[in-house]
Chains A and B, each alone.
Chain A
Amino acid sequence: MAMLNWRPWATDHEQLNRLHLLEKVPLFTGLSRRQLGKLLVKLFEKNYHPGETIFLEGEPAKALFIVLHGRVSILHAGKEGVEQVATLTPGAYFGELALIDDLPRSATARADEHSTLLILYKSHFDELIEGHSTIAIRVMGNLLKALAGYVRAAHARRAGPPVTLADAPLPGDAIPTPTDRSR
């Protein structure tokens, strides 16, 4: 009977670890193990040295990155010089805008320590979601939630005190324009 139990012997433990990590990536929440497996075989892996630049702001964007090991900093060139906007640890992802449009990178990414990243090329992602509508709906839904969260956080940082019902315009009052509302 022991001979028949071939699964542990045939299991690729590195691949299994990557699969477990993908389960924790917020972008892939809600995907089944089988769907994650389909995604897993599309990923490339690369090791980065401490201080090595992963990509530069303004460069063509073609891939999404997932941190497998190590730490990555996201840097953005502002009016007061380069500022660190985020530090990412295993399970985090970055460069997700590459999956949405063909615009250049909006920030720079740099490895802070020895880091291993998983890379998902845009064409591979497109190919995957074209053939699997469930994966497309789940991943795009997660991506939209992340972007919505980012927009809300940005609004919260810029906005004043919350608007109450008493502040709402009465019928007949001038309705503010979209531009006014964004302020």
Chain B
Amino acid sequence: MTPEPPMETSTGSSSPTQSRLTPPPASIVWGVAILGLALLLYLSRELVLLLLLATGLAYLLSPLVRLAESTAIRRDVAVTALFITLVVGLLVMSYFLLPRLRSEFNTLYAGLPSLTERLDAALDAVQKEIVAEYPVAQRLFPDREVRYERLNAFIERQTADLPNLVGHLATIALAAVLIPFISYFLLRDARKIIQFLMDRLPAPHIETSVAVSCEIERIIGRYLRGLALDGMVIGTSAALGLWILGVNYPLLLGAFSGLANVVPYLGPILGSAAAVLIALIQFKSLAPLAKVVMLYLVIKILDDVAIQPMTIGMSVHLHPVLLLASVIVGGHSFGLIGMIVAVPAVTVVQETTRLLLERRRYRAGLLDPHPRTRFPVQSYVC
């Protein structure tokens, strides 16, 4: 009948003779364990990335599975039906969009060898236009030879990895098969995995564990679904805008802008830079360039003011400095994917730490047990 005593949080004092047997403080054990885990994850980062992407896809699709589950439809049936629908949808979309995208890509790729010359000619035309309007600006531009050499070196640097991309195609194709495959099983067995973990968790930790699990699911789910939706809206708006402005490769540039948008800060810059580059080569004039820049500015403002609050919303509460730092560290450790997953990963760590510390402080009696007593309490109820 007597409730269990609260867990010991301190290791307590020990006599000098017992000091050798005293285990290290729990914080050190946890610290070493976390460091070891981080090292293991870093060493097997390719597998981790694959699992992360598969988990991301599972999170994106989970609301649809839940919708089916809420009507008591078997989870395996719902997941299988969903994947079949997705494959059919992708095939139909490929049938209509792929030929157009492929022709745009082929034209772009065919023009790559003469890219330096065409870009140089375009820059020259724009430079002349500026100098004609403002002669004093002539001093700001380098000689044509110097500019050509710099441009050539820059393009060689940027396109040096392109032949390797073909070599990576096999890896990309394998990932394209493995990610949905793993994702299918993760989605199908998610309830069993959670049940397995829940039954093995000690009862005193269950509420905090459920809280942590719910917060992780809420943050990652909202962030990824919001990001996907945001990318689609941005990509479609950019493609439509570029098509109206008469810029070449609107579909390709729209798709690139939408995909690049998932990288915080850097993505929108990359997306607009690609469109500006294409418009520069195509029009060789300032006015259309300004229109493209304006288009991307308008899209960015609309994204920040209207689209993002509706899609990603308040799922991420990171300080801007921490957000930028996490993107940089993620980029250095895991490349492009690291930049994308850095923000939700750091948010999850932040929320988990907050919840665990809250419980610790509760147990240590440091937290005010009546934080909301400001609510007026009546001395009677009748």
Contacts and interface: CB of A to CB of B under 8 A. Distances in A.
Interface stretch (A59-67, A86-94, A131-139, A166-174): A59-67
Contacts of A77: 3
Contacts of A58: 369
B306 interface: no
A56 interface: yes
B1 interface: yes
B203 A37 contact: no
- The number of chain B residues touching the other chain, given as a range, is 35 or more
Contacts of B73: 10-12
B206 A37 contact: no
Given A53-B203, A62-B207, A37 B381 contact: no
A37 B73 CA distance: 11
B218 interface: yes
Nearest to B5: A56
B210 A119 contact: yes
B217 to A, nearest CB: 9
Contacts, number: 116
- The number of chain A residues touching the other chain, given as a range, is 35 or more
A153 to B, nearest CB: 12
Interface in A30-81: 34, 37-38, 40-41, 44-48, 52-63, 75, 77
Interface of A is mostly: mixed
Contacts of A34: 70-71
B72 A15 contact: yes
B139 interface: no
A62 B369 CA distance: 14
A59 B74 CA distance: 36
Given A10-B73, A15-B69, A52-B203, A62 B208 contact: yes
B220 to A, nearest CB: 14
Interface of A: 10-12, 15-16, 19, 34, 37-38, 40-41, 44-48, 52-63, 75, 77, 82, 84, 101-104, 108, 110, 119, 121, 123-124, 127, 151, 155, 178-179, 181-182
7 nearest A-B residue pairs (beta carbon):
A37-B70, A182-B380, A108-B3, A16-B72, A12-B74, A41-B66, A15-B72
